[in-house]
Amino acid sequence: MDFKFPKDFWWGSAASGPQTEGVYEGDNKGDSIWDYWYEEEPEKFFDQVGPDTASAFYHKYKEDIQLMKQTGHNSFRTSIQWSRLIPEGVGEVNQEAVNFYNNVIDELLANDIEPFINLFHFDMPMKMQEKGGWENREVVEAYVEFAKTCFDLFGDRVKKWFTHNEPIVPVEGGYLYQFHYPNQVDMKKAVQVAYHEALASAKVIKAYHETDLEGEIGIILNLTPSYPRDENNEEDVKAAKIADAFFNRSFLDSSVKGEFPSDLIDLLDEIDYLPKIEDGDLEIIKNNTVDILGVNYYQPRRIKAKETEEGTENGFMPDNFFDNYEMPNRKMNPYRGWEIYEKGIYDILTDLRENYGNIKCFISENGMGVEGEERYINEDGQIDDDYRIEFVKDHLKYVHQALEEGSNVRGYHMWTCMDNWSWTNAYKNRYGFISVDLENERKRTIKKSGHWFNEMTKNNGF
């Protein structure tokens, strides 16, 4: 065996409440922005499939946890939906939700699968969005109360907590590039939203550390390394550094170092886009950094110096400061339009080791979405997804190299366990170790990659 991993390495997958659970009569869930948006504009969603049915984890969790066991999981990350637990965003707790999440956590533990629980996965309760969502300071406080409720209810059994999944995505999707609700283009608001998410995270970490619970709390960041077109071109290097400040270091520095990148602050100050900050905020951010960092890695970002003219009719955008660069002969996942660059995972882990105190971390998502996987069904009804096995192996080789060089990386979670609903893309691209048949009562079948993952995790390597 060439690639051996430590014996207590966390193997498993990640998912989220809004992408797997579904919405059912009598579950008393409140609307999130996704439920609302789907009702308003179903045509925005691939094949008009909305979050109402998702992958039916709400009813199938027992079966699904058995399938996790059969695919080599010793850990699994999902999220608690704020709009399910506290339908109005504040106030009354939904007992149906408490029962459901208790059952899921207990079932995971009974099967020796450690629950990693995330608190916010893009699913702002609609009642909170009506108040401005993350633009509004009041919503930050409501979220802290929601988190404390989760710690009280489930913290006796859950030892791994995360404040946000990919907090940059609601910023990009909701306030810059229009792929999440509320679908605005307003960088000044985007900056305030990002700031409030960072503050909310620090406040929740503080609240957790004030309990007497024994566990760890962190954040999940999608780190997308920014590579300059030409390492020797000063302008390209500068542009890549700005992209990195916007999309990576904004949350990485605030979460791990307790401060925002000075180059980002200077740039925002220059264009008069600094967020509104209250007294004591920066101290809270400084003193409440993460215990553990989850790293989602899918693709690199290639950057060149600004060559096009950017209009500022909507005010400034990040794109005023750099251009994206299409590297010739890059390896692509054609379905997602994303570059596959395995070494990126090693570069991130090396950066964390060298520049972020070698913080305890794990790969919290890595995955390959493929459209039309039914093409690969064999005579036994199994999907032969050799391309996914190759993808995982090629990334794990680089994780292994980082480990050998002293990286504090503790695990690897794939996105995702079973094919799940993915925002406006719905079920267009499939990512799971387990297929979900939408036509046939969401029947589950383990793919070839799931069987491979089971063998690999048994051996702790390949």
Helix, strand, coil proportions of the chain in percent (round to 5)? 45, 15, 40
Burial class (CB in 10 A: 0-12, 13-18, 19+), 326: exposed
The pLDDT tens digits for 173-182 are: 999 999 999 9
Closest residue by Cα to residue 415 from 360, 330, 329, 338 = 338
313 pLDDT above the threshold of 90: no
Domain contains 2: no
Residue 416 belongs to what domain range? 10-459
Closest residue by Cα to residue 185 from 319, 305, 309 = 319
Closest residue by Cα to residue 164 from 123, 208, 133 = 123
CA gap 49, 421 in Å, rounded: 8
Domain contains 444: yes
Domain contains 1: no
65 pLDDT above the threshold of 80: yes
Domain contains 120: yes
Residue 347 CA to chain centroid, in angstroms? Answer: 19
CA gap 394, 410 in Å, rounded: 18
Phi, psi of 324 (to 5 degrees): -80, 150
Catalytic residue among 43, 365, 390, 404: 365
* Average pLDDT across the chain, whole number: 96
CATH number for the domain harbouring residue 163: 3.20.20.80
- What does the pLDDT read at residue 308? 85
Q: pTM for this structure?
A: 0.97
Indicate the number of domains in the chain: 1
Domain contains 4: no
- What does the pLDDT read at residue 148? 98
360 pLDDT above the threshold of 90: yes
Higher pLDDT, residue 336 or 126: 126
The residues near 84 (Cβ < 8 Å, ≥ 6 apart) are 17, 21, 27, 29, 30, 94, 97, 100
The Cβ of residue 380 has, within 10 Å, a number of other Cβ atoms equal to 7
Domain contains 97: yes
371 is catalytic: no
Domain contains 125: yes
pLDDT band at 367 (very low <50, low <70, confident <90, very high): very high
Residue 20 CA to chain centroid, in angstroms? Answer: 14
274 pLDDT above the threshold of 80: yes
The residues near 199 (Cβ < 8 Å, ≥ 6 apart) are 140, 281, 284, 285
The pLDDT tens digits for 425-446 are: 989 999 999 999 999 999 999 9
365 pLDDT above the threshold of 90: yes
193 pLDDT above the threshold of 80: yes
The pLDDT tens digits for 18-52 are: 999 999 999 999 999 999 999 999 999 999 999 99
- What does the pLDDT read at residue 310? 72
314 pLDDT above the threshold of 80: no
The pLDDT tens digits for 239-273 are: 999 999 999 999 999 999 999 999 999 999 999 99
